[in-house]
Amino acid sequence: MYAFDFDRPATLDAALAALQDEDAQALGGGQTLIPTLKQRLAQPSKLVSLTAIPELSGVRADDGALTIGAATTHAAVAEQAAGSYPALACLAAQIGDPAVRNRGTIGGSLANNDPSACYPAAALASGATIVTNARQIAADDYFQGMFATALDEGEIITEVRFPLPEKAAYMKFEQPASRFALVGVFVAKYPDGVRVAVTGASEEGVFRWTEAEAALSADFSPEAIAGLSVPSDDMIGDLHGTPDYRAHLVGVMTARAVRDAV
């Protein structure tokens, strides 16, 4: 790692002030950022840890939505969202491994927007609102391709608001080495329609499979999407799967998510 200053403020205001420094970077749970720093692939002047700010942590359900503080760990979501949004809790319980889940945060995951991360699928399929210190961003506007988001320099996610669906499920097919999603599909059924978001598969990062959404909105059953497929043109091809294989898995995982939706 390159040398950097380290700050661990106790309030959001102090954190925002600390992030004003040139090349300062926010640090969530660090489960992706720290390995990146070890490879010397990033050179922040200062890291501002967000884990000591009480107002950024916690899970609360109200008004048909579940609101999760940005610094809430995956383990906390897995435990505390189980009653109100079981599909989301189930997703959180599949991220990384237990020790990673004890440190990694939802805000960190969404800010990084790894194309194989799980949370972006949940946020996009739920039509979640990404709340920052400055504004509220609809998930449809937030994800802007691999590792790219609508966040501005120095802008911090404070919480994420998930409208509660009637039914939902996340189906993850793991990449055998990293255990990130080779393909992960989150399906959420709302009164006004079904949303399907896919992670791991596309060169463009998380995306909505609108064709499946239309079919499932008309008939929420695995059979409804039987004839559908995503084009493999933009799919990732690597050691672990060809674009064709990933495109195929999108269909399989979507059908399974529909089957298992609760």
Interacting residue ranges for another protein, rule: CB under 8 A = 1-6, 8, 30-31, 34-35, 37-40, 46-47, 49, 51, 75, 96-100, 102-103, 173, 176-179, 238-242, 245, 248-249, 252
Q: Least distance (Å) from another protein to the CB of residue 104?
A: 9
Q: Which is nearer to another protein, 17 or 52 (CB)?
A: 52
3-state secondary structure (DSSP) of residue 25: strand
Spatial strand order of the sheet with 46-49 comes to: 5-7, 46-49, 24-27
Closer by beta carbon to another protein, 165 or else 251: 251
Beta carbon nearer to another protein, 41 or 152: 41
Q: Is the dihedral of CA 256, 95, 46, 12 positive or negative?
A: positive
Q: What is the CA radius of gyration of the chain?
A: 18
Q: Which residue has the tokens 């950097």?
A: 4
- The nearest distance, CB 129 to another protein, in angstroms, is 29
Q: Shortest gap between Cβ of 166 and another protein (angstroms)?
A: 26
**Nearest residue to 161 (alpha-carbon basis) of 28, 59, 248:** 59
On the 0-12 / 13-18 / 19+ scale of CB atoms within 10 A, 164 is middle
Per DSSP, what are the bridge partners of residue 6? 47
In the complex, the smallest distance separating the C-beta of residue 85 from another protein, rounded to whole angstroms, is 21
Instruction: Tell me whether residue 2 or residue 152 sits nearer to another protein (CB atom).
Output: 2
Q: Are 248 and 214 in contact (CB under 8 A)?
A: no
- Among residues 243, 28, 212, 5, which one has the least CA distance to residue 114? 28
Minimum distance, C-beta of residue 253 to another protein, in the bound complex (Å): 9
Nearer to another protein, 46 or 167 (CB): 46
